[in-house]
Chain A
Amino acid sequence: MASLIEFIQSRWDNLLEAALVHATYIVSVVVVAIVIGVGSGILVRNKPLAREIVLGVFAVFLTIPSLGLFVMLVPIVGLGFWAPFVALCMYALLPIARNTVAGLAGVDPAVVESARGMGLTNRERLFRIQLPLAWPVILTGVRVAALLTAGIAAIATLVNGGGLGDFIKSGLARLGAPNSAESMWVGTLAIIVLALAFDAVFIVIKKATTSAGIR
């Protein structure tokens, strides 16, 4: 335990830098996955066939082993940030798109019907009624996507993508050498802490953005 604290103190700057890269993955991936995932969820919500195809494709993405996917992307986008970024976006799509579809489907049809009867246009119904009511469910999907990204981003280091995985990789490479176990532990624990921090942020966001009427 003492050696762990010592290790953290000696590598504090490196640790912060790696955590920042890791957080960058999470934020950028979640933003892109929200745009694509929520967007496609909205587009296919009333089309059963398209919905099954889109969600099916996103599900297939999630089954591709991450290491393989990262390596497959390297020839296309090169080493560094972009290969893990694209792969992580592909993984994050399913929870967000699936929850968007489920959230929209869960809106009481009578509410949508009365909105239509009062003369709200398709767009007004979507943005003022359906999305706000589906929002808590969508946000839960986003939260799952963020946690998923935090975990899988640890492998970004294998294609020189940086992040907290660097600590795990360096420990693994020097297994048995001084500080190797500490390095792996710190990398792993830091990812968990980061994930919990994001989770806490989502709880706050959910509170702040969900109407008191549906809490």
Chain B
Amino acid sequence: MTETLIKLDDVTKTYPGTDVPAVANLNLEINRGEILVLVGPSGCGKSTTLRLINRMIEPSSGRIMFDGDDVTHVNADELRRRMGYVIQQIGLFPHRTIAENISTVPKLLGWDKQRTAERVDELLETVGMEPGIYRDRYPKELSGGQAQRVGVARALGADPEVLLMDEPFGAIDPITRDRLQNEFLRLQDELKKTIVFVTHDIDEAIKMGDRIAILREQSVIAQHDTPEAILAGPADKFVEDFLGSGATLKGLNLLRASEVELDDVTTVRAPTSRHEVMQAIEAASSPWILYLDESGAPKRWLDRRSLDEVNSIDQAGKEVRVTVEPEDTLRDALEKMLQSAVGTACVVDPTGAYRGVVRVETLVEIIDRLQREEQARQEAR
């Protein structure tokens, strides 16, 4: 049973001195516990729409409903304390420590010291940062990815029901972005927050969204549906163009690594001897075997020749540079496969331990199937 938590009711925003509204007669319902992605070309008003929800921008007309209440005219600052807010530039307070940043809203709400301190540590752990190390650091000491994690932790400070995220991973390098997306999806599995997520990247929208609203100029909703439904049946030419070519590739965004059957390869785990490795290679059905470190994380691809060239196993063969996490889409997996030395992507669990591999052949089969489905749809039309 889905329940509407936030509702924009015929909302229009016209900036003073302009005739054309930036957002025109927008009706939008956001369900409790879903990730709704607002996606569209630049200048379509998606950020404006997001900022109308917490009244960073005051609507010219229309109503904003939150949890059954009309919040169009309540105190905007108090409303914002009930909604976490994350922006692309993060905007951590540089003069405050990480702990002070995260406790911003709890302090505004008058939480006592003990409760606030416990909450800070809990949140740092939630976003995968050791409280003992990071609590008293300053934002300038963090990497981009870490700062974004703290930004999310800060937005979750007082456990708001809603998170508003404006291109939160937009300014981060692709590999870190991919990892942050996966972490965030894992987090959301536990937290079940209601999230409105703005992006201009359709691939990110498909990966992150339970539902997607594709917007055109003035925040007119071109299509509002699940990613599957939008890919299967674009509502009009605009949506089709926005999805772009390669609908099959986009389809790979819908499937996660955790949903395909993983293949197994022969593995050897450190500590091991040269002799054991040779035996394993002899016995293996494929030319390459996978060398795992003590914790079970994939380290190197080894074949018969690689051991002849160097003495140490730790330098033999080819390094495993990128791994696939269960939350990664098959499109992410494909990209990582292309970077892999042996055309096979290692899938690891959240702790980094080896779970299996995805082979090119598996992806080819899936792409084949998607293409046949796509053809069938076009013939049916």
Cα A38 to Cα B90 in complex, Å, equals: 29
Q: State which of A110, A118, A120, A213 has its C-beta within 8 Å of the C-beta of B138.
A: A213
When each residue 110-127 of chain A gets 1 if its CB lies under 8 Å from chain B and 0 otherwise, what string results? 111111111111001000
Q: When the two chains form their complex, are residues B95 and A133 in contact, meaning their CB atoms are under 8 A apart?
A: yes
Given the interface pairs A113-B87, A114-B85, A213-B140, the reply to whether A119 lies near B93 with Cβ below 8 Å is no
Cα distance A71–B155 in the bound complex, in angstroms: 60
Q: Which residues of B contact A212 (CB under 8 A)?
A: 138
- Interface core residue of B77, B80, B95, B155 (most chain A CB under 10 Å): B95
Given contact pairs A111-B93, A213-B96, A213-B97, A117 touches B108 in the complex (Cβ within 8 A): no
Q: CA A114 – CA B151 in complex, angstroms? A: 10
Minimum C-beta distance from B172 to chain A (A): 15
Contact in complex: B94, A115 (CB < 8 Å): no
B138 to chain A, nearest CB (A): 3
Q: Is A73 an interface residue (CB 8 A)?
A: no
Chain B CB within 8 A of A13 CB: no
- Taking a contact as CB atoms under 8 Å apart, the answer to whether A119 and B78 are in contact is yes
In the complex the two chains form, is B95's CB within 8 Å of A119's CB?
Answer: no
What residues of chain A lie closer than 8 Å to B97, measured between beta carbons? 213
Contacts of A214 in B (CB 8 A): 94-95, 140
Distance A108 CA – B140 CA, assembled complex (angstroms): 14
Would you call A118 and B80 a contact (CB within 8 A)? yes
With beta carbons under 8 angstroms apart, the residue of A108, A113, A119, A133 that contacts B77 is A119
Contact of B94 among A111, A118, A120, A121 (CB under 8 A): A111
Chain A, 66-117, CB within 8 A of any chain B CB = 108, 110-117
Complex Cα distance, B56 from A58, in Å, reads 35
8 Å CB contacts to A: which residues of B87-123?
87, 89-97, 104-105, 108
Residues of B with C-beta under 8 A to A132: 95
Separation of A118 and B91 alpha carbons in the complex (Å)? 11
B interface size (C-beta, 8 A): 29
Assembly CA distance A132 to B94 (angstroms):
10
Task: Tell me, yes or no, whether A211 is within 8 Å of chain B by CB.
Answer: yes
Is the Cβ of A133 less than 8 Å from the Cβ of B138?
Answer: no
In B164-189, the 8 Å CB interface with A consists of 164
Chain A residues near B56 (CB, 8 Å)? 113, 116-117
Q: Say whether A118 contacts B87, CB under 8 Å.
A: no
Contact A117 B95 (CB under 8 A): no
Chain B interface mostly helix, strand, loop or mixed? mixed
* A129 interfacial contact with B, CB 8 Å: yes
- Give the chain B neighbours of A118 by CB distance below 8 A: 80-81, 85, 104-105, 108, 154-155, 157
CB <8 Å contact, B87 and A213: no
Question: Which of A111, A117, A129, A133 is most buried by chain B, counting CB atoms within 10 A of its CB?
Answer: A117
| Pair A111/B92 contact, Cβ less than 8 Å | yes
Contacts of A115 in B (CB 8 A): 91, 93, 104
Least distance between B1 CB and chain A CB atoms (Å): 31
How near does chain B come to A127, taking the closest CB pair, in angstroms? Answer: 12
CB of B77 within 8 A of CB of A121, answer yes
| Docked CA distance A112–B90 (Å) | 11
Residue on A nearest B137 in the bound complex, by CB: A213
Which A residues are in CB contact (< 8 Å) with B54?
A: 117
Check A110/B105 contact, CB under 8 A, given A119-B77, A214-B95.
no
Instruction: Check: B79 CB closer than 8 A to any chain A CB.
Output: yes
Quick check: A119 and B105 within 8 Å, CB to CB?
yes
Q: Mark A128-153, 1 if CB is under 8 A from B, else 0.
A: 01001100000000000000000000
- Interface bits B116-139 vs A (CB < 8 Å: 1, else 0): 000000000000000000000011
Given A110-B87, A113-B91, A114-B90: A119 and B79 interface contact (C-beta under 8 Å): yes
A133-B93 Cα distance, complex, nearest whole Å: 9
Residues of B within 8 A of A124 (CB): 108
Known contacts A118-B104, A213-B139; 20 additional CB pairs below 8 A are A110-B89, A111-B93, A111-B94, A112-B91, A115-B91, A115-B93, A117-B54, A117-B56, A117-B80, A118-B81, A118-B85, A118-B105, A118-B154, A118-B157, A119-B79, A132-B95, A211-B95, A211-B138, A213-B93, A213-B97
Q: Give 20 CB contacts A-B under 8 Å.
A: A108-B91, A108-B94, A110-B89, A111-B91, A111-B92, A112-B91, A113-B56, A114-B89, A114-B91, A116-B56, A118-B157, A119-B80, A119-B81, A119-B105, A124-B108, A133-B94, A211-B138, A213-B93, A213-B96, A213-B138
A interface residues with partner B (beta carbon < 8 Å): 108, 110-121, 124, 129, 132-133, 211-214
